[in-house]
Structure 1
Amino acid sequence: MTISYAQTTTTTQILQPLTVRGMTIPNRIVMPPMGTNFATAGGELSDEHMAYYRERARGGTGLIIMENVCVDHPTGSNGYTQLRLDNDHCLPRMFAFTEMMHRCGSMAGVQINHAGASADPALTGAATLSSSDVPSKPGGHAPTPMTLEQIGHVVECFGRTARRAQRAGFDMVEVHGGHSYLLNQFLSPLYNHRTDEYGGSPRNRARLLVEVLREVRSQVGERFPISVRLSADELLDGGNRLEDTLALAAHCDEYVDIWNVSAAENPNLQYQIDMARLPDGWRSTMARAFREEFGKPTITSGNVRDPQAAERIIADGDADLVAIGRGLIADPWWVRKVREGRPEEILHCISCNIGCADHRIRQGRPIRCTINPSILDNESYRATKVSVPTRVVVVGGGPAGLEAASSAAEVGCAVTLLERGEQPGGSVRHAARLPAKWRIAKYLDESVLRARRAGVDIRTGQSGEPDRVLAEHPDLVVNATGGLPVAPPITGLREHLDRPGSTVSSIIGFASRIDEVARWRGRRAVVVGAGAVGLDVMEHLVDHDVQVVLVERLPAIGNDLDMVTRLQMLEVLERGDVDVRVSTSLAEVREEGVVVRPADGEPEFIEMVHGVICLGMRPVTSGLPELIERCTGVGVPVMNIGDSVRPRKIIDAVREGRGVLKALNELGRRAEA
């Protein structure tokens, strides 16, 4: 099948239907399978699952592919909690799910999977299986190479699970053949070291996938679509590149209706779960290669947030369907807002990977979202307005203050936001000036626009002195004054930090001098502190070919990072040949350099062109006690939220900002929704 589209600057292409083997998808937007940790201990759909997926279907998503389900429990299980479809007891709840999806207007698919070496025996209680004895990631468990009998059993499991999906009312099934899971562990020379008929040549390495797809087709018949997800380019030395994967896919194309074209493996997760700096649709050319080679519909993914980027992908013929994963966690109504002509209201995912990927994979928590604290019911809070006129004053316009102001205004409050600086955004605004942080800068700008749409009176250049706050006659005051960089009593630090013409900056001073970095090429800069902010600074310096010395008093770097960003930063450290000094403290700051002291060594002077001190943040609370005293004295409650409580992440600030609704409920100004 050959499909071509004219280029356009509208969003008409992504709203067009597509029919594949009798399944008509109402538009070109796909919610790809993403784990949630919402499943019950028995592997069944929970109420949270139902609410979560229902909101994305109500939001207009054309095809929702349920997160991967286990075909053989417990050996093939993945993650802390995983849905199961390996037993008929799962059918009733799954059928209720597909009925719900169809009532809301979405097509429903399900991804079936065996984790192979990616299973964790500590969670499954079973030995891991794979093509060979290669762990799925560095430091992982060494699996047991599968026998021919075990291979045959897995083939049967995939077929039975696909048939069960069809019985449950799903419109299609997707077989997961990528991302370091079992089928990929046979396809990839990184994992497959076998010498029998399942190893060696591309035909042999593709044999298991061919057998699985043949069995799935025999179970579901000719009128049921089958999708296959592949890591088209593993982006690793010695792994499959795009041309290799196309050759592998040719052996099984006859059984495939849709190619879901992804990339990367467990060791380079930052290209599988895209790091923030990758542009919208960065891997769409891989999907185009599959589309041109096999003439079948393709799905592409890769940080797609902007409707125009999705439109270009379809219009240019790169793919037929665009998968928006984390973007639909952030805004379940992404499609609906495009369809209704209000794309400016989309809450664009910032690709931070904290509440979604890190919660789910590393921390064993159910997923959350940094910028949307209500992923299960989304914007439903707006339907319950305040019952009496209510005035709210918010002091501070960072992420916490902006969220509190918008949420209060969206339920009918008259809101005034007082921001000391020239523009809202708080301390995050400074870090967001780094080019790689453009998604966060966009989020801050959109947060300001959202507040203005809601009717918030934003006053910049005004701090929150009690007289000014009380002059607004508030019923509730929200203090969100944020934080400022820490400057410990280290010799020379306070004398040099952010002084005019100084060579020593905090993140605030560095952001204001960011244009100077290009002139430091080939010279040495010192970054003190290897937390999230320090590593962001290091990345920017490396991008400009600056020689970086990274100083961290703890024995490891990036302790506060999510797993995807951590991998990203390790890659940057290697690319920039960064001189990393862990277990090393800053002892003295001079204009021409710094003195550092290793835990087990002698002090050392490091000459530098510039030093950036990133030793964390401290709460700004200098005026808070007086504000509380004056306000409570006249019966006005004061909330303190965000970094002015304790410096943390944006996800914490936004969650606490939305907490203004609970405060309004407790004041009797708004009934519980």
Structure 2
Amino acid sequence: MENYEAIFEPLTVKRMTLKNRVIMPPMGTNFANMDGSFNNEHITYYEQRAKGGTGLITLENACIDYPMGTNGTTQLRIDNDQYLPGLWKFNEVMHSYGACTSVQINHAGASAYGLRLEGKQAVSASNIPSKKGNAVPRPLLKEEILEIVKKYGEAANRAQRAGFDCVEIHAGHSYLVSQFLSPLYNQRTDEFGGSPENRSRFAKLIVEEVRRAVGPHYPICLRFSADELLEGGNTLEDTLDLLTYFVEEIDILNVSAALNDSIQYQIDQMNLADGWRSYMAKAVKEKFGKVTITSGNIRSPKIANDILLKGDADLLAMGRGLIAEPNWVNKVKNGEEQLLRKCISCNIGCADHRIAKSRPLRCTVNPDVIYEDAYKEHQVKNHLKMVVIGGGTAALEAATTAAEVGVEVILFEAKAYLGGLAHEIARLPDKRRIDDYVIYLKERAKQLPNLTIHLQTKATVEMIEKIKPDIVVNATGAKPLLPPIKGLQEQLENPNRKVFSIFDLLNNMENFQEFTGKRIAVIGGGAVGLDVVEYYAERHAESVSIVEMQPTLGKDLDMITRISMMDIIQRHGVATYTETALTQVNEASFTVMQQGEEVDIPFDLGFVCLGMKAERPLMEPLMSYQKESGATVVNLGDSKVARRIYEGTKEARDILTTVHQVDREKGRQSLKQYSYQ
């Protein structure tokens, strides 16, 4: 086991000394109270990451100018002193674990949350929306600009008085400072627009005001989009030029990327490599010689350590990685790398929940982002047995959770491997991160002597009767939905077929490695169909077509995956047929109905990806067994309803409710028997 010494080397910036090189960057949570104050769950969420060994905890962006500068459904505020007690309490808790703290101060500008503006028009550098389809803002007057500058200084002073060790100015990601820096937003003709020096003027005034407010010895961090990754936006070279005008008083440069319309490179899509944007941090560090932060899908301790050893950056920002695994630092330090619950970059519970759906932050692979392992403190009081049928992610999460509270668990999986559909989908190169969750669950299971796993064993009711379990969990997953469409079954049974289901692809990847000259047609524009499109389009098949009955593709996908998939479709010229129905499957073409007309889509390989349906062959006999034996039967995961890993993980952790109910009832029954005797 490697020791990854570079990760654990302390770093001093002015009067702040970090115990290691891992930082938690600011990430919105929707945990704050409506008035912008903290609540106990909010602080407990951050406490888990401080307790887990993180060197620097950066509190999510706090509003400096309410309501005009607010963003998100609920957001912390730092625009007046009434918020100091809560911020002070936050710092007390974080510091008790040896973590240093920072807070990101921010004005949303044109990205302001519309419902909180009380009918007022959002403000910006110009009248350009911060995102396609967003409301048009109005340009700020010069006197308003100077007033906002003053508010940044006041917020920084409050941060210092609240006990933060550092303050971070947000100058990226389509917020107000970014809206002045970027030529995509800034079309002003006064001293705040036009040339790089003029576009930098607002940022320069803010940095100077913050420095006056906090004094010479207090660290100031700046987060910015080094490359906006949009045509006409700032490139890395442009940003290096812009920084020369206002970098002097900055101590730490937090190098991020992208704007709202390239958000898949800010909140990194799944197929981007670990630390993919560290080259940007390296360029910034080489030019300015200041402490530099990098980020971007950093999950692997080895890659994290290598980034530091190569000198690409001084600090590693792990955002979603610390949502998924609050104990990342301690596990790596203690040689428990195999037990890391790595973020799979699915962006469902974090980005999509919070940004697209105004829900509180959650996580696909971490079913309790607030209390983490607190459930383990509540062990069962009676001897309970549980049988789990299935070995997918929901089955494994239910089995390990129950075993961790003292239940004797026996799991049966009919296949020769664990992980179910998650493991199978991860065979697609662009989805390989999903297997990290499977690996974690398997390693977690190995630590539990009261959990027995039987592979290549198809469970039967007769087997279960012999075990006499108190609880039976059915988690047998899902199978492809193949409706009775003319020619479909015949072509799937054709020995020389060119038509396949998703499992044909996933279970025989070696037979689907040819791309050049291949015409690909995919029926179904949901997650599964788009995964097939991604596989072939990104590997330059001759042509790719996709057919979907709904008006839009990927309507149930998280926002980041959907944006990245639409980008793939546009870049590779994928032929898209929406509001189009499959009517017949032929040997080398699909016949579809589009706007009342029949169209033939020829292919060399055709894939029918019309979704998944629950597979639960044992449920009927299990319900009879429940009536006869008194055992509790629970159906969960895709065998209940075919959905995403996120829903299955949540349901699996909820097995605790059943476990403790059965435990209490068994205790009552034992007490009755004892009293009778």
Query: Same fold by TM-score, threshold 0.5 exceeded?
Result: yes
Letter in 1 for 2:106: N
**3-state SS of the aligned residue for 1:376?**
coil
Task: Tell me which residue corresponds to 2:654.
Answer: 659
1:38 aligns with 2:34: no
Work out the CA distance in 2 between the residues paired with 1:61 and 1:497: 52
Letter in 2 for 1:234: E
Task: Tell me which residue corresponds to 1:595.
Answer: 591
Task: Tell me which residue corresponds to 1:480.
Answer: 475
User: Within 5 A, what are the aligned runs for 1:445-524?
Assistant: 445-455=439-449, 456-497=451-492, 500-524=495-519
1:239-262 residue CA offsets vs partner (Å, 9 max, x unmatched): 111111111111112110000000
> How many pairs does the alignment contain?
664
- 282-291 or 626-635: which moved more? 626-635
1:325-370 residue CA offsets vs partner (Å, 9 max, x unmatched): 0010001111111111211111000000000000000100000000
Task: Tell me which residue corresponds to 1:3.
Answer: none
1:350 aligns with 2:349: no
Q: Is the 8 A contact 1:9 1:311 kept in 2?
A: no
**3-state SS of the aligned residue for 2:370?**
coil
Letter in 2 for 1:652: E
Task: Tell me which residue corresponds to 1:339.
Answer: 333
Structure 1 residues 670 and 75: CA distance shift in structure 2, 3 A: farther
1:107 aligns with 2:103: no
1:554 aligns with 2:547: no
Work out the CA distance in 2 between the residues paired with 1:643 and 1:285: 41
**3-state SS of the aligned residue for 2:375?**
helix
Work out the CA distance in 1 between the residues paired with 2:487 and 2:580: 18
Among 647, 650, 659, the alignment partner of 2:645 is 650
User: Within 5 A, what are the aligned runs for 1:299-338?
Assistant: 299-338=293-332
Q: Is the 8 A contact 1:73 1:86 kept in 2?
A: yes
Among 242, 246, 250, the alignment partner of 1:252 is 246
1:262-290 residue CA offsets vs partner (Å, 9 max, x unmatched): 00100010000000100110011111111
Work out the CA distance in 1 between the residues paired with 2:29 and 2:225: 21
Structure 1 residue 438 displacement after superposition: 0.5
Task: Tell me which residue corresponds to 2:361.
Answer: 367
- 350-359 or 241-250: which moved more? 241-250
Letter in 1 for 2:323: I
1:188-231 residue CA offsets vs partner (Å, 9 max, x unmatched): 11111111101111111110001001000101001110000010
| TM-align CA RMSD | 1.5
Work out the CA distance in 2 between the residues paired with 1:632 and 1:426: 29
**3-state SS of the aligned residue for 1:588?**
strand
User: Within 5 A, what are the aligned runs for 1:542-621?
Assistant: 542-546=537-541, 547-598=543-594, 600-621=595-616
Task: Tell me which residue corresponds to 2:15.
Answer: 22
User: Within 5 A, what are the aligned runs for 1:273-292?
Assistant: 273-292=267-286
Letter in 2 for 1:135: P
Structure 1 residue 452 displacement after superposition: 2.3
1:611-661 residue CA offsets vs partner (Å, 9 max, x unmatched): 111111111122211012113311211111011111111010011111121
Work out the CA distance in 2 between the residues paired with 1:416 and 1:502: 41
Work out the CA distance in 2 between the residues paired with 1:621 and 1:25: 52
Among 429, 436, 450, the alignment partner of 1:435 is 429
Task: Tell me which residue corresponds to 1:116.
Answer: 109
Work out the CA distance in 2 between the residues paired with 1:28 and 1:671: 49
Work out the CA distance in 2 between the residues paired with 1:669 and 1:317: 57
Q: Is the 8 A contact 2:349 2:362 kept in 1?
A: yes
Q: Is the 8 A contact 1:550 1:579 kept in 2?
A: yes
Task: Tell me which residue corresponds to 2:673.
Answer: none
Q: Is the 8 A contact 2:4 2:305 kept in 1?
A: yes
- 461-470 or 523-532: which moved more? 461-470
Work out the CA distance in 2 between the residues paired with 1:39 and 1:400: 30
**3-state SS of the aligned residue for 2:61?**
strand
- 430-439 or 625-634: which moved more? 625-634
Structure 1 residue 610 displacement after superposition: 1.2
Segments of structure 2 that go 5 or more residues without pairing to the other structure are 668-677
Letter in 2 for 1:585: A
Structure 1 residues 442 and 670: CA distance shift in structure 2, 3 A: farther
Task: Tell me which residue corresponds to 2:536.
Answer: 541
1:628 aligns with 2:641: no
Identity %: 47
Structure 1 residues 508 and 389: CA distance shift in structure 2, 3 A: same
Segments of structure 1 that go 5 or more residues without pairing to the other structure are 1-7
Work out the CA distance in 2 between the residues paired with 1:157 and 1:461: 64
Work out the CA distance in 2 between the residues paired with 1:659 and 1:467: 27
Letter in 2 for 1:435: P
Work out the CA distance in 1 between the residues paired with 2:279 and 2:2: 20
Task: Tell me which residue corresponds to 1:5.
Answer: none
Work out the CA distance in 2 between the residues paired with 1:264 and 1:613: 35
Q: Is the 8 A contact 2:3 2:333 kept in 1?
A: no
**3-state SS of the aligned residue for 1:471?**
helix
Task: Tell me which residue corresponds to 2:674.
Answer: none
Letter in 2 for 1:416: I
User: Within 5 A, what are the aligned runs for 1:381-420?
Assistant: 381-420=375-414
Letter in 2 for 1:523: K
Structure 1 residue 669 displacement after superposition: 5.6
Structure 1 residue 498 displacement after superposition: 6.5
Task: Tell me which residue corresponds to 2:189.
Answer: 195
**3-state SS of the aligned residue for 1:586?**
strand
Letter in 1 for 2:218: F
Structure 1 residue 421 displacement after superposition: 1.5
Q: Is the 8 A contact 1:498 1:504 kept in 2?
A: no
Work out the CA distance in 2 between the residues paired with 1:512 and 1:160: 60
Work out the CA distance in 1 between the residues paired with 2:497 and 2:380: 51
TM-score, normalised to structure 1, is 0.97
Structure 1 residues 123 and 531: CA distance shift in structure 2, 3 A: farther
Letter in 1 for 2:561: T
**3-state SS of the aligned residue for 1:454?**
coil
Q: Is the 8 A contact 2:382 2:666 kept in 1?
A: no
